[in-house]
Amino acid sequence: MSLFVGSGVAIITPFDENKKVNYAKLEELINFQIENHTDAIIICGTTGEASTLTAAEHLECIEFAVKITNKRVPVIAGTGSNSTADAIYYSQEAEIAGVDGLLVVTPYYNKATQKGLIEHFTKIANSVKIPLILYNVPSRTGCNIAPKTVYELSKVENIVGLKEASGNIAQVMEIAHLCGENIDIYSGNDDQILPLLSVGGKGVISVVANILPRETHEIVQDYIDGNIKESAKKQLDMIPLISSLFSEVNPIPIKRAMNLMGMNVGSLRSPLTEMEDENSAKLEKNMLNYGIKL
């Protein structure tokens, strides 16, 4: 059984004026997402700036998300690290906190071999009893999970999914061919939701859902319901906006978009900086063109 089907939001971490986690705002955002049909909350991922959270903040955010979500939708915690021991620690603590699943990114900087990836993910999966989704984003980590490696990992009982953000559709198709029903594939790119659904994908772990939760959910739901043309139209209509949301490194643009909408999610932690004026102007234009009220 799938951990979730549809659109899971890779939720941002809001900060106050002192760059502290704004928990009141995080509660507001979680409720906004659930009220607008988001199918899962993914906390402390790339979009959540997990790499600049302290260990204490990381775990506090996970515990808080579980508490506020209160079983209304699944909560999936980002618990990856380039240290297997650290990833196990975060994963076990997230399990204690009551999450429904884990999202574990490939080790970054180390550039593990495929053998090393199998060992890394297997050790993490065996350290917990909850489902685990692999996260492949080689553009950020310098490490790609090869299709045959995904196939080997799919044999581990609680490795149930893959967030695929390589952008390589041929690779996704090979994974789908090798693994079949043994692993659920989620798009890690908002501009490739439909292509992944067409080869059996279960949905998306989305950035754009931070501002368009209902619309992102509908792209997947329409496809599932057999309304392929409507799903495709919604995906294609969103492309210019998605392009602007990735004109600078994520989550710089999505936080800017949320602040333009009056959501007051605060700024970013260093080394991330505010969006360049030229890119921000293009983002604002594409938001207005899409029909978002600012």
* φ and ψ of 161, to 5 deg: -150, 170
Q: Tell me, what's the pLDDT at 11?
A: 98
Judge whether 81 and 106 are in contact, CB under 8 Å. Answer: no
Q: Within 13 A of 252's CA, how many CA atoms are on the CB side?
A: 16
Q: Tell me, what's the pLDDT at 40?
A: 98
pTM, two decimal places: 0.97
Alpha-helical runs (H) found in 225-261: 228-237, 239-245, 252-260
Q: Tell me, what's the pLDDT at 1?
A: 76
pLDDT average per 10 residues of sequence, the chain (294 residues): 94 97 98 98 97 97 98 98 97 98 96 97 98 96 96 97 96 97 97 96 98 98 97 98 98 98 98 97 98 94
Judge whether 161 and 3 are in contact, CB under 8 Å. Answer: yes
Q: Tell me, what's the pLDDT at 51?
A: 94
Judge whether 157 and 29 are in contact, CB under 8 Å. Answer: no
Alpha-helical runs (H) found in 39-166: 55-69, 84-97, 114-126, 138-141, 147-153
Top-level class of domain 6-227: alpha beta
For 230, the token pair is 């409507």
* C-alpha 196: how far from chain center: 15
Q: What are the residue numbers of the active site? A: 135, 163
